[in-house]
């Protein structure tokens, strides 16, 4: 009766092949695992001395990098088993994360909280992508960002175009306020005063410096009509940010449609901006049916 120490026919053949010099090639899967481990180890070692955020995130932008799959899986670890996120979203998220990292390899708010802007958790956290009821909404922030990288969207009310270009810098979940310490070292430019927050903050270079653009993503399950709440005070905050010049544009973006009461609230805020500032400042724009891939 076998006691567990016997050499199987397969093992016996492997030993004989080794003796004859036939087993000189490393198993491709073992080789890949080793390369991924070594790549991640080297990135972490570099990160400890040269800035963790940049060193840990840059392989996300390169699908051929040995550490890409490992780091992508780490960023999206809290989506696994989260039933609030549709499977179609989960299939698209790795590509979306890679697209985002190609624009800004050290994007703030993805794997490291932007603490200088009072952000306590990055989007990969259990309370965001791992949230048991609102996970799909946070996933849409990534998918919506990637959608704007791949194609332009034109606002339904203002006609203003929204797109992320290769020359832009993008960051996630930024609370804007010039008084935060060290903010000027990470963002290209700072607003004059803080009154608003953006799921996505785009810094667009111009001949005069940078144009700051804020985006708020509103997710609709099954791409239907958005049923969440957008408060009057929220819209008021964005209106003030535009009127003070803190941001040049603000956009609401959904994968579905906005209900009429919400679009009327946008129109009311824009009318107040025009009455006081004319065309000197930007308006609140809204975009519908903004989707990424097959989400």
CB 61 within 8 A of CB 98: yes
∠ at Cα 81 (75, 87), nearest 5°?
85
| 246-278 confidence digits (pLDDT tens) | 889 999 999 999 999 999 999 999 999 999 888
Tokens of 126: 């259990």
| CA distance to 107, 223, 225, per residue, from 218 (Å) | 21, 11, 10
pLDDT at 61: 80
Domain boundaries, the chain: 9-287
Find the mean pLDDT for residues 74-86. 93
pLDDT at 146: 98
Range with lowest mean pLDDT among 2-16, 69-83, 89-103, 113-127: 2-16
More confident residue, 194 or 119: 119
Q: pLDDT band at 165, cuts 50/70/90? A: very high
pLDDT at 117: 63
pLDDT at 13: 53
Q: Distance between CA 18 and CA 33 in Å, rounded? A: 22
3-state SS assignment for residue 253: strand
pLDDT at 257: 98
Q: Distance between CA 192 and CA 138 in Å, rounded? A: 28
Residue 222's Cβ-count burial label (10 Å; 0-12, 13-18, 19+) is exposed
Q: Distance between CA 202 and CA 149 in Å, rounded? A: 11
pLDDT at 32: 56
Find the mean pLDDT for residues 73-77. 88
The highest-confidence range among 144-158, 161-175, 234-248, by mean pLDDT, is: 144-158
Find the mean pLDDT for residues 155-174. 94
- Give me the percent of the chain exceeding a pLDDT of 70: 71
Q: Is pLDDT at 49 greater than 80 in this prediction?
A: no
Q: Is pLDDT at 65 greater than 80 in this prediction?
A: no
Residues 6+ apart with CB under 8 A from 242: 248, 249, 250, 273, 281, 282, 283, 284
In this structure, the number of other CB atoms found within 10 A of the CB of residue 210 comes to 17
3-state SS assignment for residue 154: strand
Indicate the average pLDDT of the chain: 80
Exposure string (b/e) for 20-39, b if CB count within 10 Å is 16 or more? Answer: eeeeeeeeeeeeeeeebeeb
| 27-47 confidence digits (pLDDT tens) | 565 455 555 556 555 655 554
């Amino acid at each position: 009766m076998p006691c567990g120490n016997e050499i199987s026919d397969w093992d016996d053949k492997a030993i004989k092949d080794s003796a004859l010099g036939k087993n000189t090639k490393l198993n491709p899967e073992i080789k890949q695992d080793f390369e991924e481990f070594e790549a991640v180890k080297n990135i972490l070692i570099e990160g400890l001395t040269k800035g963790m955020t940049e060193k840990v995130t840059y392989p996300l932008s390169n699908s051929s990098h040995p550490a890409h799959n490992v780091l992508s899986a780490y960023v999206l670890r809290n989506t696994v088993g989260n039933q609030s996120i549709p499977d179609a979203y989960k299939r698209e998220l790795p590509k979306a994360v890679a697209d985002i990292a190609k624009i800004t390899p050290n994007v703030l708010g993805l794997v490291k909280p932007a603490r200088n802007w009072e952000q306590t958790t990055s989007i990969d956290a259990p309370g965001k992508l791992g949230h048991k009821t609102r996970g799909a909404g946070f996933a849409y922030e990534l998918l919506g960002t990637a959608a704007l990288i791949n194609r332009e969207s034109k606002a339904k009310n203002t006609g203003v175009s929204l797109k992320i270009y290769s020359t832009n810098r993008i960051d996630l979940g930024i609370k804007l306020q010039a008084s935060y310490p060290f903010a000027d070292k990470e963002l290209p430019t700072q607003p004059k005063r803080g009154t608003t927050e953006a799921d996505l903050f785009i810094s667009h270079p111009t001949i005069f410096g940078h144009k700051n653009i804020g985006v708020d993503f509103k997710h609709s399950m099954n791409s239907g009509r958005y049923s969440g709440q957008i408060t009057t005070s929220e819209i008021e905050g964005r209106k003030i940010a535009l009127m003070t010049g803190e941001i040049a544009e603000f956009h609401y973006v959904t994968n579905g449609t906005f209900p009429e009461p919400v679009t009327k609230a946008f129109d009311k805020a824009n009318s107040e901006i025009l009455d006081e500032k004319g065309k000197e400042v930007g308006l609140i724009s809204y975009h519908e049916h903004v989707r990424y891939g097959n989400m």
